[in-house]
């Protein structure tokens, strides 16, 4: 693999510096599809609650790359067992794993046919700038990078670095999202985890002496899920986006004039998947411009929903236990002359920070290795994690509606 003519560094608040000395990595960072991620927020609707959570998918992608780069160089067995090609492959998969994200991630996915995982693979495998860079560096790279991201690459050790229970993706987003939201929940000792990582029987494991930092990591997941990722206000904002997209889809189906100016959305409103060019053009800047046009457009429902998005006039929410409660709210919404299909929505959040699989598969469990090189699943050796696993799966069902209903 060709080296860059000088060692490149980029400052990063989580890792200090991101280090690059491979030309293919540097070229991928500078590719159009990667630069587009600067225009996609990392946390869909969370900047509506945590006003500093303005960080992008671009920064997170660099962070995942950096953690993988450190693992393949600093974890002794990884350094010894992986070839130069495989190390580069793992770093590239870390860098490119989120390249197919659309604007406002999950809300946006409700309108298109393909999810971001599918777009990620399409961008890597089809004729894109990233694809050409990978192919030029090594003809097998596009296929192999796509396989690692899809968790199907022949060497499971490499797959685990990107998607396992203790992978570079989660470790970066927990630390980064905690930093940019300003919360103190998501912190854990990444240095210590990397230092105590060992490879035993083709599995990523952590030495017994590293167990406390892994416990912190599990607790970070627990708190970040409920305080940040599943925050009801973020869900309210994302639901509003989903309703606006749904309205557009319904208007598109009947050929409504209102949508003639909103070309950026058209490919995603059709009954066939939009291509990677359409995805490239629809970043958050384009989507917000579309909302701005729609808020002055001809359809009263779309006009109101997009105004609410732009002005943060979010829906209220309440916990629900049965469908009757939802019906009552729909009736109240109708009484206000609002259309309940666009002004009432429900969602349900469920999360457990770590649930070990009974199967002995790599990547599904967190393994602790004893001094005798015996592997024990984390919840068997940690009382704290054991207690977390015993907890009932927490479910949070909510209904959202305009505040005028109250």
Between 98 and 299, CB nearer to Zn ion = 98
Tell me, residue by residue from 7 to 46, as one string, x for binding to Zn ion by CB under 5 A and - for no binding: ----------------------------------------
| Greatest extent of the chain over all pairs of C-alpha atoms, in Å | 71
Sign of the C-alpha dihedral computed for residues 342, 348, 354 and 359 taken in this order: negative
Q: Are 303 and 292 in contact (CB under 8 A)?
A: no
Which of the 8 DSSP states describes residue 189? -
Q: Which among 23-31, 92-100, 211-219, 350-358 is the span making contact with Zn ion, rule CB under 5 A?
A: 92-100
Q: Which among 2-10, 94-102, 135-143, 311-319 is the span making contact with Zn ion, rule CB under 5 A?
A: 94-102
Q: Are 235 and 349 in contact (CB under 8 A)?
A: yes
Distances from the Cα of 148 to the Cαs of 164, 187, 344, in angstroms? 12, 27, 40
* Residue 102: Cβ-neighbour burial (10 angstroms; 0-12, 13-18, 19+): buried
Between 161 and 211, CB nearer to Zn ion = 161
Is residue 304 part of the contact set for Zn ion (CB under 5 A)? no
The minimum distance between CB 250 and Zn ion, in angstroms, equals: 32
CA distance 308 to 285: 17
Long-range CB contacts for residues 146-153, cutoff 8 Å, separation at least 24:
146/121, 148/89, 148/90, 148/93, 149/93, 149/96, 149/97, 149/117, 149/120, 149/121, 149/124, 150/117, 150/121, 151/363, 153/89
Q: Which among 28-36, 112-120, 162-170, 267-275 is the span making contact with Zn ion, rule CB under 5 A?
A: 162-170
Residue 105's nearest CA partner among 66, 69, 60 is 60
Between 46 and 169, CB nearer to Zn ion = 169
The minimum distance between CB 172 and Zn ion, in angstroms, equals: 7
Q: Which among 164-172, 210-218, 244-252, 301-309 is the span making contact with Zn ion, rule CB under 5 A?
A: 164-172
Residue corresponding to tokens 């919360």: 183
- Per CB under 5 A, the list member of 27, 98, 122, 167 interacting with Zn ion is 98
Beta strands at 203-207 and 367-369: parallel, antiparallel or unpaired: parallel
Is residue 299 part of the contact set for Zn ion (CB under 5 A)? no
Is residue 66 part of the contact set for Zn ion (CB under 5 A)? no
Q: Which among 23-31, 155-163, 166-174, 226-234 is the span making contact with Zn ion, rule CB under 5 A?
A: 166-174
Between 70 and 195, CB nearer to Zn ion = 70
Q: Which among 143-151, 159-167, 169-177, 244-252 is the span making contact with Zn ion, rule CB under 5 A?
A: 169-177
CA distance 266 to 257: 12
CA distance 110 to 263: 18
- Per CB under 5 A, the list member of 167, 169, 299, 377 interacting with Zn ion is 169
The minimum distance between CB 169 and Zn ion, in angstroms, equals: 4
The minimum distance between CB 42 and Zn ion, in angstroms, equals: 8
Between 173 and 315, CB nearer to Zn ion = 173
Is residue 177 part of the contact set for Zn ion (CB under 5 A)? no
**What is the contact surface with Zn ion in residues (CB under 5 A)?**
98, 169
């Amino acid at each position: 693999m060709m080296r860059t003519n000088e060692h490149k560094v980029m400052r990063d608040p989580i890792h200090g510096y991101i280090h690059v000395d491979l030309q293919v990595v540097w070229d991928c960072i500078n590719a159009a599809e990667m630069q587009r991620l600067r225009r996609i927020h990392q946390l869909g609707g969370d900047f509506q609650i945590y006003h500093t959570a303005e960080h992008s998918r671009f920064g997170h992608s660099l962070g995942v790359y950096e953690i993988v780069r450190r693992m393949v160089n600093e974890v002794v067995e990884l350094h010894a067992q992986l070839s130069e090609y495989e190390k580069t492959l793992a770093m590239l998969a870390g860098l490119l794993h989120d390249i197919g994200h659309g604007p406002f991630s999950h809300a946006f996915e409700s309108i298109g046919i393909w999810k971001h995982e599918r777009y990620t693979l399409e961008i890597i495998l089809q004729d894109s700038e990233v694809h050409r860079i990978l192919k030029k560096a090594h003809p097998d790279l596009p296929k192999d990078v796509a396989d690692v991201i899809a968790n199907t690459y022949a060497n499971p050790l490499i797959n685990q670095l990107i998607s396992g229970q203790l992978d570079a993706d989660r470790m970066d987003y927990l630390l980064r999202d905690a930093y940019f939201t300003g919360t103190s929940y998501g912190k854990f000792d990444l240095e210590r985890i990397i230092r105590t990582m060992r490879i035993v029987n083709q599995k990523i494991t952590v030495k017994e002496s590293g167990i406390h930092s892994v416990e912190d990591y599990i607790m970070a997941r627990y708190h970040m899920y409920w305080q940040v990722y599943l925050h009801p206000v973020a869900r309210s904002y994302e639901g509003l986006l989903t309703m606006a997209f749904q309205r557009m889809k319904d208007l598109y189906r009947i050929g409504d004039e209102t949508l003639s100016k909103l070309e950026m959305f058209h490919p995603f409103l059709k009954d066939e998947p939009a291509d990677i060019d359409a995805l490239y053009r629809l970043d958050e800047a384009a989507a917000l411009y579309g909302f701005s046009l729609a808020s002055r457009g001809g359809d009263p429902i779309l006009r109101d929903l997009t105004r609410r998005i732009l002005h943060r006039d979010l829906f209220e929410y309440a916990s629900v236990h049965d469908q009757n409660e939802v019906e009552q709210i729909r009736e109240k919404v109708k009484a206000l002359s609002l259309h309940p299909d666009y002004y009432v929505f429900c969602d349900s959040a469920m999360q457990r920070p770590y649930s070990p699989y009974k199967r002995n598969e790599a990547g599904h469990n967190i393994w602790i290795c004893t001094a005798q090189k015996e592997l024990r699943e984390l919840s068997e050796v940690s009382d704290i994690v054991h207690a977390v696993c015993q907890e009932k799966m927490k479910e949070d069902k909510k209904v959202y509606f305009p505040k005028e209903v109250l």
